[in-house]
Amino acid sequence: MLVVKNLKAWYGAAQALFDVSLQVAPGELVVLQGLNGAGKSTLLQAIMGIGPRVSGLISYQNNSISAWEPHRRAQAGLGYVAEDRRLFAALTVQENLRVAARGDVQANEARVLDLFPALKSMLRRLSSQMSGGEQQMLAVARTLMTAPKLLLLDEPCEGISPVLVESMVQALLALKAQGMPMLVAEQNSILAERADRVITLVAGQLKA
Ligand code: ATP
């Protein structure tokens, strides 16, 4: 269980989050909505420990993780996919997957490719030679190779073709069916209708 209480975040003197509190329970899909600049990315980054200066409580599996380095949060099970994907352009699809792998690489890879079958036919292609949507799938797939226990996804369906949006939604719903808890930021309402809960940020505050 992920618990965030009274989270505040600042970029320099500018406050970006104001007393945000939320929870993601085991198996839950929580969608975080909000307009451009509402603070969605800031919130996910704060949970991962890579963003702005923060105060407040962030707890995961009953541990207060606010002071933990990002890699320790990842090792504890938080898997994060940034909006800008952050793939290794000079590596192939398969190398991108394996570079992140933990545990049983082959078993993980088989599981991940079952979720994203479109990647199977492009394992030897450079990630820079994929469409935006394919890259987005690879970014989620690569994070899954780390065997996370909770996913933080920043706009996974943004700016990709309708067919690939559908593939992404199917993959995320399959993950949900397997019990993977997820906190997904999105501006459109693609996943919102399939979510257990939808929360909305307005100018850095959660709307009641
Ligand atoms: P988008 O969908 O456009 O990314 P968002 O809801 O994710 O929007 P954030 O990117 O979290 O919103 O931005 C929240 C606020 O913090 C905005 O006012 C933004 O200008 C500001 N901000 C974000 N990143 C930085 C940064 N690195 N330095 C300074 N201010 C920032």
- Supply the DSSP string of 79-124, one letter for each residue: EEE-TT----TTSBHHHHHHHT--S-HHHHHHHHHHH-GGGGGGTT
Atom of ligand 1 nearest to the CA of 35: 6
Q: pLDDT value at position 104?
A: 87
Q: Which residues line ligand 1 (CB under 6 A)?
A: 11, 14, 16, 34, 36-42, 187
180 vs 44: CA distance, rounded Å: 17
Query: Alpha helices of the chain — where are they, by DSSP H?
Result: 40-48, 70-76, 93-99, 105-115, 132-144, 162-177
- Tell how strand 53-60 and strand 63-64 pair up: antiparallel
Tens digit of each residue's pLDDT (9 = 90 or more) over 112-142: 999 999 999 999 999 999 999 999 999 999 9
What pTM did the predictor assign?
0.94
Domain covering 2-206, topology: Rossmann fold (3.40.50)
Using CA atoms, how far residue 37 sits from 42, 84, 104, 168, in Å, is 9, 15, 39, 24
| Predicted pLDDT at 51 | 82
Calpha distance 208→205 (Å, rounded): 9
Centroid of ligand 1 to alpha carbon of 142 (angstroms): 25
**pLDDT tens-digit readout, 13-45:** 999 999 999 999 999 999 999 999 999 999 999
Which of 11, 36, 153, 187 best tests ligand 1's pocket when mutated (most atoms within 8 Å of CB)? 11
The predicted-structure confidence for 44-101, as pLDDT tens digits, reads as follows 999 999 988 999 999 999 999 999 999 999 999 999 999 888 898 889 999 999 998 8
Mean model confidence pLDDT for the chain = 95
Distance 110 CA to ligand 1 centre (A): 36
